[in-house]
Amino acid sequence: MKKSSGTFGVLKRFGFNFMIIFILVYLLFPFYWAVNSSLKTESQLFMAPATAIPRDPATLEFSPTMQNYSAVLRDGQFLRGLANSSIVATSTTVLALIAGSFAAFALGKLRFRGRRPALYLILAMTMFPQVTVLTGLYAVITALGLSARVSMIFAYMIFTLPFTTWVLTSFFKELPDALMESAQVDGATTFQTFKSILLPLTAPALVTTGLLAFIAAWNEYLFALTFTSIDPTARTVPVAIAYFAGAVARQEPFGEIMAAASLVTVPLVVLVLIFQRRIVTGLPAGAVKG
Amino acid sequence: MTSNHDNASSKSKVSSPKVKMSNLAKREERLAFRLLLPALLIIAIIAFYPLAQVFYTSFTDRVFASGQETNFIGFDNYQQLLSVHITTLDPVIDEATGEIMIDPETGQKVYERPLDVLPREPSRYREFNQFSLFGNRYVVGATDPSFIQSVSNTITFTVVSVFLELVLGLAIALVVNSKFRFRGSMRAAMLVPWAVITVVSARMWEWMLAPSRIGMFNALFDWMGVIDSPIAFLASGTYQLPAMIAVDVWKTTPFMALLLLAGLQIMPEDIFEAAEIDGAGKIRQFITITLPLLKPAIVVALIFRTLDALRVFDIFQVMLGQSQYSMASYNYFQLIGNRNMGLASAIGVIIFILIFLFAISYIKMLGVDQE
């Protein structure tokens, strides 16, 4: 931002900060409410009116409880779910990024017959609702005899691969052809150009796409529920959380669900913090002159 | 590797005639196919059979999870889902007076019962909607009014929420793209809604929208004094769809914002510097430089958001249950509840076609796929 001075500058900065705070409140408040609920006991949850911090029903003093968290952490299911989710989501993302960036380079930068049909074929893979493809997918997985975790990794390709391919294709297309041509004149093969010039230049896109795909895989529920039905040790976090409800009779353990949700969201935020440097670093000026 | 060989030919590209060029083109084509191979293999293994099966099953009367014999029934499932019939409703004539009968309580004209005028063949049409036009009363009947309702719900939901997500996502991306101190943490915070597990997020909102002051919104509105009695957001027809849209916009705006942000990041800064020197204002820069350059990113973001919105399932299933359907939750109900796999597959195909139409129209409207 340019430095502005005087009353106008102060107003402008004030407006900008106000906007940032507004955006943050909008995006974070519901999550705050989940954390707030996770610190309440059953009776505190049912207090009317609802309180913005956990309060004692009688004295109205601040009194959070950690019982939901200790219940979640004592449950072996949940921790194992975390491990499973990490394995499945990471493998899915890596596979989808590799296959996706290869395909995207071909689709975005190379000339060949059948380019457009290939683009649409890949998109078509993900245009059915999950419920509809479930039976067919289950048949394929049984026929191949895949384990539950591997099944999930492959099944998640259905929604991650078209996503990574399409996003990266649009980014590769943006890079000027001159870049490739000059590299080729310098004696690099097409694939070398791709690997050592185009790929680094699209790093922000790669990281963003990877993060979004990772989270999509991390949050998937329906496929995970189906494929782990025969192997409960492979359950991912969303499925493990859903089974909280089954473990306790009659009442749904809402506080525990919120505690688990808060616990799983934190590692994701940390992950983004680690990778965000890569998202921040855009192109150095002048790197791609047409 | 063939790198030496490639080197030789790329050099010759610069200096030598067309014969070599076509050789190069062939090599480029071969490289393209090699690069596409992993993706195509994955599709062939994992997606081909399930997708083909959905198409095939949609033309049968297959029952889910049963040994019952399956018959090929052509387009019957589609006919069952999509048959719509509009007809006039005549006012009822009072036999004693020969005049149009008026309801003594409401003072309105009394019309025939829709069920009496709607066709019963090939299967019974039920009332979907009534409307008046030029003094006539019409009734819209459908063989499956719940499905028609779910289509209208889903399309309204998709158009409104994707539009809001685009506007909000673009605004957030632009704000976060400018340099300020806590930009890094802001990016991480921004992703929180998208990171909350979808099924859990639906639960969370259900709780916040609870129909008494246990719920955050009713407690807040009550405290602010804007409501007299608690609102049943998820039970009343007026608020159901807006509530779904609000939840979805909250959850997926980060997805949109992050994709657009990546698009902004990749823009070379010197264009803006040049524009600045030419004296173009911020707003002009945005309209003449930023938006056109961002188009490809916008199209891809729109396609994938629309795709997800048209298949919206979790929030409708968890928060509205059987009271109001999206196409995908109706699909789920037909498959799991009614075990009508043929019909469910036909719904899947209809969603597929809708998504395809949306995707094509984005690409055509924004003119991205030039070639």
CB contact under 8 Å between A166 and B203, yes or no, is: no
Q: Is B186 inside a domain boundary?
A: yes
Strands (E), B90-209: 126-133, 136-142
Note the pLDDT of residue B3.
Answer: 43
Q: Are residues B127 and B205 in the same domain?
A: no
Please state, in angstroms and rounded to a whole number, the distance separating the CA atoms of residues B256 and B167: 9
Q: Which residues of B touch A46 (CB under 8 A)?
A: 214
Q: Are residues B126 and B234 in the same domain?
A: no
Q: Which residues of B touch A161 (CB under 8 A)?
A: 39, 42-43
Q: What is the least distance, in Å, from the CA of A192 to any CA of chain B?
A: 9
Mean pLDDT of A21-39: 91
Mean confidence (pLDDT) of chain A:
84
pLDDT-based confidence at residue A286 (cuts at 50, 70, 90): very low
Phi, psi of A122 (to 5 degrees): -65, -40
Q: What is the least distance, in Å, from the CA of A112 to any CA of chain B?
A: 5
- Which has the closest alpha carbon to B194: B262, B244, B252? B252
Where do the domains of chain A lie, and which CATH numbers do they carry? 1-65 (no CATH), 68-280 (1.10.3720.10)
Q: What is the least distance, in Å, from the CA of A74 to any CA of chain B?
A: 20
Q: Are residues B230 and B308 in the same domain?
A: yes
Q: Is B107 left (phi over 0), alpha (psi -120 to 50) or beta?
A: left
Please state, in angstroms and rounded to a whole number, the distance separating the CA atoms of residues B63 and B123: 20
Please state, in angstroms and rounded to a whole number, the distance separating the CA atoms of residues A231 and A242: 16
Residue A134: pLDDT over 50:
yes
Note the pLDDT of residue B357.
Answer: 92
CB contact under 8 Å between B258 and A211, yes or no, is: yes
Tell me how many residue pairs between chain A and chain B have CB atoms under 8 A apart: 337
Note the pLDDT of residue A91.
Answer: 97
Q: What is the least distance, in Å, from the CA of A283 to any CA of chain B?
A: 6
**Look-up of token digits 């001159």:** A178
Q: Are residues B215 and B336 in the same domain?
A: yes
Q: Are residues B174 and B111 in the same domain?
A: no
Please state, in angstroms and rounded to a whole number, the distance separating the CA atoms of residues B257 and B285: 20
Q: Which of A72, A86, A131 is best to mutate for the B interface (most B CBs within 10 A)? A: A131
Q: Which residues of B touch A158 (CB under 8 A)?
A: 46-47
Please state, in angstroms and rounded to a whole number, the distance separating the CA atoms of residues A101 and A113: 19
Q: What is the ipTM of this complex?
A: 0.86
Name the residue range of residue B174's domain. Answer: 146-365
Q: Is B19 inside a domain boundary?
A: no
Q: Which residues of A touch B190 (CB under 8 A)?
A: 23, 27
Q: Are residues B115 and B169 in the same domain?
A: no
CB contact under 8 Å between B186 and A20, yes or no, is: yes
Contact A206, A168 (CB under 8 A): yes
B315 part of contact set with chain A, CB < 8 Å: no
The shortest CB-CB distance from A163 to any of B186, B213, B304 is to B304
Q: Which of B26, B208, B266, B361 is best to mutate for the A interface (most A CBs within 10 A)? A: B266
Residue A1: pLDDT over 50:
no
Q: Is B201 inside a domain boundary?
A: yes
Q: What is the least distance, in Å, from the CA of B18 to any CA of chain A?
A: 16
Please state, in angstroms and rounded to a whole number, the distance separating the CA atoms of residues B334 and B339: 6
Domain boundary among B142, B159, B189: B142
Q: Which residues of B touch A265 (CB under 8 A)?
A: 192, 195-196
Note the pLDDT of residue B107.
Answer: 74
Q: What is the least distance, in Å, from the CA of B242 to any CA of chain A?
A: 17
Q: Which residues of B touch A20 (CB under 8 A)?
A: 175, 180, 186
Q: Is B156 inside a domain boundary?
A: yes
B167 part of contact set with chain A, CB < 8 Å: no
CB contact under 8 Å between A26 and B250, yes or no, is: yes
Q: Are residues B180 and B219 in the same domain?
A: yes
CB contact under 8 Å between A23 and B14, yes or no, is: no
Q: What is the least distance, in Å, from the CA of A225 to any CA of chain B?
A: 12
B208 part of contact set with chain A, CB < 8 Å: yes
Q: Is B113 inside a domain boundary?
A: yes
Q: Is B274 left (phi over 0), alpha (psi -120 to 50) or beta?
A: alpha
Domain boundary among B142, B157, B186: B142
Give how many domains chain B has, as a whole number: 2
Q: Is B292 inside a domain boundary?
A: yes
Note the pLDDT of residue A277.
Answer: 67
CB contact under 8 Å between B51 and A123, yes or no, is: no
**Residue A139 tokens, joined:** 């048949």
Q: Are residues B267 and B354 in the same domain?
A: yes
Q: Are residues B194 and B327 in the same domain?
A: yes
Angle subtended at Cα A35 by Cα A34 and Cα A37, rounded to the nearest 5 degrees: 65
**Residue B137 tokens, joined:** 């009363």
Please state, in angstroms and rounded to a whole number, the distance separating the CA atoms of residues B302 and B359: 8
Q: Is B34 inside a domain boundary?
A: no
Q: Is B32 inside a domain boundary?
A: no
**Residue B138 tokens, joined:** 């019409």
CB contact under 8 Å between B196 and A265, yes or no, is: yes
Q: Which residues of A touch B214 (CB under 8 A)?
A: 45-50
Domain boundary among B103, B118, B142: B142
- The residue type of A96 is A
- Which has the closest alpha carbon to A77: A213, A253, A206? A253
B327 part of contact set with chain A, CB < 8 Å: yes
Q: Are residues B120 and B169 in the same domain?
A: no
Q: What is the pLDDT along chain B (371 residues), one digit of tens a residue?
A: 344 444 444 444 444 455 555 777 888 888 899 999 999 999 998 889 999 999 999 999 888 877 788 888 888 899 888 888 888 888 888 777 777 777 777 777 788 877 777 877 767 788 887 887 887 788 888 888 899 999 999 999 999 999 999 999 999 999 888 877 777 788 888 889 998 988 888 888 988 998 888 888 888 888 888 888 888 888 888 889 999 999 999 999 999 998 998 888 877 777 777 777 777 777 888 888 888 888 888 999 999 999 999 999 888 988 887 888 999 999 999 988 888 999 999 999 999 999 989 988 888 887 665 45
The shortest CB-CB distance from B222 to any of A49, A123, A127 is to A49
Q: What is the least distance, in Å, from the CA of A209 to any CA of chain B?
A: 8
B369 part of contact set with chain A, CB < 8 Å: yes
- Whole-structure pTM value: 0.86
Q: What is the least distance, in Å, from the CA of B94 to any CA of chain A?
A: 51
CATH of the domain at B291: 1.10.3720.10
Q: Are residues B194 and B123 in the same domain?
A: no
**Look-up of token digits 């043929």:** B342
Mean pLDDT of A208-237: 91
**Residue B349 tokens, joined:** 């195909």
Q: Are residues B116 and B257 in the same domain?
A: no
The reply to whether omega before A49 is within 30° of 0 (cis) is yes
**Which residue from B minimizes the CA distance to A104?**
B36
CB contact under 8 Å between B214 and A282, yes or no, is: no
B312 part of contact set with chain A, CB < 8 Å: no
pLDDT-based confidence at residue A281 (cuts at 50, 70, 90): low
